[in-house]
Amino acid sequence: MASEIEISAMRRALDAARGVGRTLPNPRVGCVLLTPDGREIAVGAHHGAGTRHAEVDAISHAGAAARGATAIVTLEPCNHRGRTGPCAQALLEAGVARVVFAQTDPDRSAAGGATTLRAAGIDVEAGVLGEEATELNREWTLAVTTGRPFVTWKYAATLDGRIAAPDGTSRWISSEAARRDVQTFRAESDAILVGTGTILADDPRLTVRDTADHPLPYEKQALRVVMGESAIPSQYRVLDETAPTLLIQSRDPADVLHQLADREIRHVWLEGGPRLAGAFWNAGLIDRVIGYLAPSLLGAGRAALESDATTLTDKRPIELHDLTMIGPDIRIIGSPDRAQREDVD
Ligand code: AOF
Ligand code: ZN
């Protein structure tokens, strides 16, 4: 059984992991080292692929004090030599006596650290605050378990769900505050996906920008992905030098996600128009919906989503997670309620 002291140390390890920016394609991981009587020796966190893992980071701060310590980690220590060495081994070499972790590593190539540690005689406890840890890496977890990226679909519409007027004009339905809010989400995903139609119609930049609207450095940008069969002339902004761009000549959502998974993309931010969003929706490939509803009505024009629904039982429930005012707009965050959908099927 994990003690109260260990559980509260796990909360601090989760905070350490949360305090880090985007780590994709890797998960966010934190680690706290405790003396046998529960005093904190060191805190570590993982800062992204290619940098040291949380356990190794904590051990490097602790030095010789790690001998006999308890390691509290938000993810099962890895058992593989990937971009860096195996953490299970590093914990053994540091002389750690007990390991408490939250989420079991769903990445089969890295998992198995618990078994290795137990075989070496270490006292190991799994699943402490496991749900919180899994929630922290929700997108990464889905990506490594299913082999396709997590997809968040974002749209901005009037209260009657219109994203454009009948003449096609669509700028700007949501407020500047909502558009700024979108930037924080873009920064958390590792690819921004639209169709060629959106590029040709709106010429968006699809970059992650700071509060002053300057693009972040190239290395901090998400991959811009344009799917579809129309050619994009070179003067379009998506082809500029501010961020990497990938053109995929396919209209098939599953095929595109597969190609993105091959590039270790874990979280796709889908900003496509109604038809592209509809194709993902029909295929069951939307995991989260973020809608910005502006306090206005149009009464005509395209709806946010064009699916293959024909009758009311085709309606699919959304489980709401959050409802917040962003400036004058309403932001709704939810996910398709898969359990209820299976009941209907
Ligand atoms: C840990 N501690 O802090 C992290 C872990 O190839 P790499 O070195 O980048 O490793 C990536 C995999 O290692 C990742 O998919 C996940 O399974 C695990 N991440 N493990 O023990 C950490 N970031
Ligand atoms: Zn590791």
**Residue 57 beta carbon below 6 angstroms from any ligand 1 atom:** no
Listed in order, the ranges of the chain carrying CATH 3.40.140.10 are 4-137
pLDDT at position 168 is 87
What is the assigned CATH class of domain 147-336?
A: alpha beta
* CA 78 to ligand 1 center in whole angstroms: 6
CATH 3.40.430.10 intervals, the chain: 147-336
The tens digit of pLDDT for each residue in 195-235 reads: 999 999 889 999 999 888 899 999 999 999 999 999 999 99
Tell me, using a 6 A CB cutoff, whether residue 46 lines ligand 1. Answer: yes
Report residues of the chain scoring pLDDT below 70. 339-345
Amino acid letter, 309: A
Q: Which fold has domain 4-137?
A: Cytidine Deaminase; domain 2 (3.40.140)
Instruction: Specify the pTM.
Output: 0.93
pLDDT, residue 343, reads 46
Residue to mutate (ligand 1; options 55, 60, 75, 264; most atoms within 8 A of CB) = 75
Q: What pLDDT is attached to residue 6?
A: 98
Nearest CA to ligand 1 atom 10: 82
Tens digits of per-residue pLDDT, 220-230? 999 999 999 99
